[in-house]
Structure 1
Amino acid sequence: MIDWLVSLQPWQQALVGTGFTYFMTALGAGLVFFFKSINRNVLSSMLGFASGVMIAASFWSLLDPAIERATERGDIPWLVVSIGFAFGGLFLFAADKILPHIHFGQKEAEGIPSHFKRTILLVFSITLHNIPEGLAVGVAFGAAANADNPRVAILAALSVAIGIGIQNFPEGAAVSIPLQQEGLSRRRAFFHGQASGIVEPIAGVIGAVLVASMEAILPYALAFAAGAMIYVVVEELIPEAQQSSTEGTHYGVFGTMLGFVMMMILDVALG
């Protein structure tokens, strides 16, 4: 499979990788046909797990390679990575303020005023934080196009796709099942749940094309994706994980640690 991936164009590699992450989102959303609700502690564990995967991927798959690439280019590594990371967070902050959306449990929508239904606003909320996930996979595959050892770089990018795909499975369930509890039919809840992951292939292909065609922006792009993911984790996932769990328990914490360890193992083993 690695030889086949190496033979593809960067945007095609990114499409394959993010196609897998989207499939895992849809697979998780399909759990709505089997379960009517999610236990609070299970949901907290899911959100924590997603947080851990994204934190680990931000460093091992994005920031560390960004530092290496900036050093190889003769740039000031800490400056390049700091700029990219900061702009990634600012991009998500701006999108959070502009895109109309609402989080589960909220009554008031955020972003610019709109007349969208609550269901659509809930999907927009999940879609917003899927953008940096798709971007991370795409940038990783785009970086492989200019790597000295394409096979090793493809393996590293593959580990990002696998890690994000694994955490997308419970994430898909965490979207579709609450939507069903909001009053949607199981089919509509599944449709909206899987639709939240469609943005990942789009962001992935864009990221891969930009990085592969403009090598100079590679370290900035890697750090940008990391900053965007950390923003999502700190602003949304960890607070929701803490609020979802039963008081006095640590399901979100242990879920985060498990996700971090799993992603770290994938990165070190495959990268």
Structure 2
Amino acid sequence: MNIDQLISMGPVALALCASLFTWFMTALGAALVFFFKDINQKILNGMLGFASGVMIAASFFSLLAPAIDLSVSLNMTPWFVVAVGFLAGAVFLWVSDHLIPHMHFQDSSNHVEGVPTKLKRSILLVFSITLHNIPEGLAVGVAFGLLAQEATVVELMAAFTVALGIGIQNFPEGAAVSIPLRKEGLSRMKAFLYGQASGLVEPVSAVLGALLVTVVRPILPYALAFAAGAMIYVVTEELIPESQSGGHEATHFSTMGCIVGFVIMMILDVALG
């Protein structure tokens, strides 16, 4: 299949295929539970830090920068568009964080956030990671939604870069879900199934994001900034705090993981996008 045939598939179909890849990478990472029962805290911190770095870089290079450029081309006020979209994305995740019941792996107090529930601890832990994956799926969807505005090879490569970057960080994230679940007492199979299930929200949110910006094209720059705001909220609210466990020495792995993740995503975006 050549580039023209790929573009002819349309933004929604491409977003679905790309997000299925990001889910597959989550499942691949979750499959590490069949080989490991425990995970070193330093390695876990590095994984979470790596995911943070990828998401921070993707938020600017793949989402905010294109939103600014697109706003200029559409004769919009760039600073207003990105500010409104970014804040809306952060508020959306803030509301979701307070409504969807979930629990954090590093919280030994068993504190449940969101609405009261009687769900099992293992399910609540999965919900915590599922929240992370909503903005990632949206990012993939709106990135492919750019093709509705300008269906070029450059835009296609930029969208694939977003999916590739998120897929790369989903691999360690999948392991960071399934292996701790195994430590919680779940069987290897259950830990794997729950771990990969946390990534199933990505194809759903990607398709919804692509559909929305395809049907209502003027909101595309807002949608790009929205996805960026949602991802930065996840990074600062969830990933970075959870990666700072295990003492000062262990946090170095989080910091270096974040830097490496940022650099890899930046190289992918600049070189390919």
| TM-score band, normalised by shorter chain | over 0.9
1:108 alignment partner AA: H
Contact 2:144/2:159 (<8 A) preserved: yes
Secondary structure, aligned partner of 1:51: helix
1:4 and 1:31 map into 2 onto residues whose CA distance is: 36
Q: Which residue of 1 aligns with 2:60?
A: 59
Residue 226 of structure 2, aligned match among 218, 224, 227? 224
Letter in 2 for 1:138: G
Distance 1:256 1:52 in 2: 4
Instruction: Give the drift of 1:246.
Output: 4.1
Distance of 2:8 and 2:153 partners within structure 1 = 10
Residue type at the aligned position of 1:142: G
What code does the residue aligned with 2:113 have? E
Matching of residue 135 in structure 1 with residue 134 in structure 2: no
1:208 maps to which of 210, 229, 233: 210
The residue number in structure 1 matching 2:26 is: 25
Q: Which runs of 5+ in 2 are unaligned?
A: none
Alpha-carbon distance in structure 2 between the residues aligned to 1:151 and 1:212: 18
Q: What percentage of residue pairs aligned between the two structures are identical?
A: 63
Give 1:1-271 correspondences, 5 Å limit. Answer: 1=1, 2-106=3-107, 107-147=110-150, 149-243=151-245, 245-249=246-250, 250-271=252-273
Structure 1 letter corresponding to 2:22: T
Deviations 1:148-196 (A, max 9, x none): x521101000000000000000000000000010010000000000000
Question: Displacement, 1:270?
Answer: 1.0
Maintained 8 Å contact 2:148/2:217:
no
Alpha carbons 1:134, 1:202 under 8 Å: kept: yes
* Cα distance per residue 1:200-256 (max 9 Å; x no partner): 00000000011111110000000000000000000010111112x442341101100
Worse-matched range after superposition: 247-256 or 85-94: 247-256
Partners of 1:246 and 1:219 in 2: CA distance: 41
- Structure 1 Cα separation of the partners of residues 210 and 85 of structure 2: 16
Q: What stretches of structure 1 of length at least 5 have no aligned partner?
A: none
SS at match of 2:212: helix
> What is the aligned residue count?
269
Q: CA RMSD in A?
A: 1.0
Q: Which runs of 4+ in 1 moved over 3 A?
A: 1-4
After TM superposition, give the deviation of residue 105 of structure 1 in Å.
2.8
Q: TM-score, normalised by structure 1?
A: 0.97
- The farther-off stretch of 100-109 and 173-182 is 100-109
Q: Which one-letter code corresponds to 2:111 in the other structure?
A: E
